[in-house]
Structure 1
Amino acid sequence: MLLKWIDRAPRRVLACVSAACVAMLGFGMYLQYGVGLEPCPMCIVQRYALIGVAIFSGLACARGGRRWWLPLAGLAAATAGLGAFVAARQSWLQWNPPETASCGRDFYGMIENFPISRAIPMILRGSGDCTAIDWTFLGGSIANWSFLCFTGLGLLLLTVLVRGLRGAGRRDLSPA
């Protein structure tokens, strides 16, 4: 049934992916401003990945021809993969915290004071903040749930891509 929906209306699927990302970003804002949790550097990277997936999939659903929405959906899938990687790394750090945990610099301090070639490894190395589990739902931390969401969105986007590439010769426009 899901595959039929993807074949029939891939741009609607992309719109749903974009809406899901916006909802997750809203939940993240609630956790930050409503509950009072401060995001660590890896959480901020995951937020940027969610913004990227939302923008790329939103643009993909807005464009009519396959030559537009297929590359944009590919960028959205790649961005979801990046988000899943960072969430998996943070989950691993939470399960296997380093011997010495230091708070380190914040995300923007790293980006402003170091070249990007040094800042990215520092972010992925994690800090003491990245190993903290401040919130759980059904036994999973925010990083665990983020990984599951990114993986689900990425698999859905890859399915849209594969199905779209298979049917590329049949028609150029997909129904909205």
Structure 2
Amino acid sequence: MRRLIFLFAFLVPAGLLAVAFYMEHVMGLEPCPLCWLQRFAFMGVAAVALVAFLHNPGDIGGRIYGFLLSVAAGIGVGLAGRQLWLQSLPEDQVPACGGSVDFMLQVFPLMDVLAMALKGTGDCAKVIWTFLGLSIPGWTAVFFTLIVLAGLAILFGLIRGPAGNR
């Protein structure tokens, strides 16, 4: 069961990243700095989950992977929450819009770009797409939260590997 969870924890972010790139390159939706950071968090989740799936560790290793999965997805929850908070601000309190991530990377040092991205811009506060009443960061928060819960269930032994693999 645990190995199947790791597989899904890889496939879901991989699929969501494919959707994100479709939205960017086909639909023309430009990702804001916080969107980019959420993509990186999904990449981290997918990487941990893929390694865990391929490794198929024993009980202690599985718990370590569950912890790492929870941490990576927890970072994503925080980033999505920050963007949802920006989207909930009254218009007069929304921060000014900034340049694109590509522009910022050309002009500023990487640590400054990271700080600006975490702070968010007016671009991050725009709701440019919704599905069933949730914006993009709303959906990423849902998926990140489910992955955090799965990782915690593995970490605390609620989901285990097969009897011969403990």
Query: How has the CA–CA distance of structure 1 residues 172 and 122 changed in structure 2, closer, same or farther, with 3 Å as cutoff?
Result: farther
Give the conservation status (yes or no) of the 8 Å contact 1:87–1:144.
yes
Out of 25, 33, 37, the position equivalent to 1:33 is 25
Q: Which amino acid aligns with 2:11?
A: A
Cα shift at 1:167: 6.5
- What is the SS of the residue equivalent to 2:157? helix
Query: How has the CA–CA distance of structure 1 residues 30 and 94 changed in structure 2, closer, same or farther, with 3 Å as cutoff?
Result: same
Q: Which amino acid aligns with 2:121?
A: S
Q: Which amino acid aligns with 1:35?
A: M
Residue segments in structure 1 that go unaligned for 5+ positions in a row:
1-8
Whole-Å Cα distance in 2 between the matches of residues 65 and 134 of structure 1? 42
What is aligned with 1:141? Answer: 135
Out of 79, 82, 92, the position equivalent to 1:86 is 79
Give the conservation status (yes or no) of the 8 Å contact 1:60–1:70.
no
What is aligned with 1:162? Answer: 156
Cα shift at 1:60: 0.6
Query: How has the CA–CA distance of structure 1 residues 100 and 18 changed in structure 2, closer, same or farther, with 3 Å as cutoff?
Result: closer
1:53 aligns with 2:9: no
Whole-Å Cα distance in 2 between the matches of residues 46 and 167 of structure 1? 28
The more displaced of 34-43 and 95-104 is 95-104
Give the conservation status (yes or no) of the 8 Å contact 1:59–1:69.
no
What is aligned with 1:122? Answer: 116
Q: Which amino acid aligns with 1:145?
A: W
How many residues end up aligned between the 2 structures?
163
1:53-98 CA distances to partner (integer Å, 9 max, x unpaired)?
A: 0110110111133243332332121010000100000000000156
Root-mean-square deviation over aligned CA pairs = 2.4
Residue segments in structure 2 that go unaligned for 5+ positions in a row:
none
Cα shift at 1:115: 5.1
1:71 aligns with 2:64: yes
Give the conservation status (yes or no) of the 8 Å contact 2:86–2:94.
no
User: TM-score, normalising length from structure 1?
Assistant: 0.81
User: TM-score, normalising length from structure 2?
Assistant: 0.86
Query: How has the CA–CA distance of structure 1 residues 173 and 137 changed in structure 2, closer, same or farther, with 3 Å as cutoff?
Result: same
Query: How has the CA–CA distance of structure 1 residues 127 and 98 changed in structure 2, closer, same or farther, with 3 Å as cutoff?
Result: farther
What is aligned with 1:105? Answer: 99
Cα shift at 1:160: 1.5
Whole-Å Cα distance in 2 between the matches of residues 121 and 31 of structure 1? 25
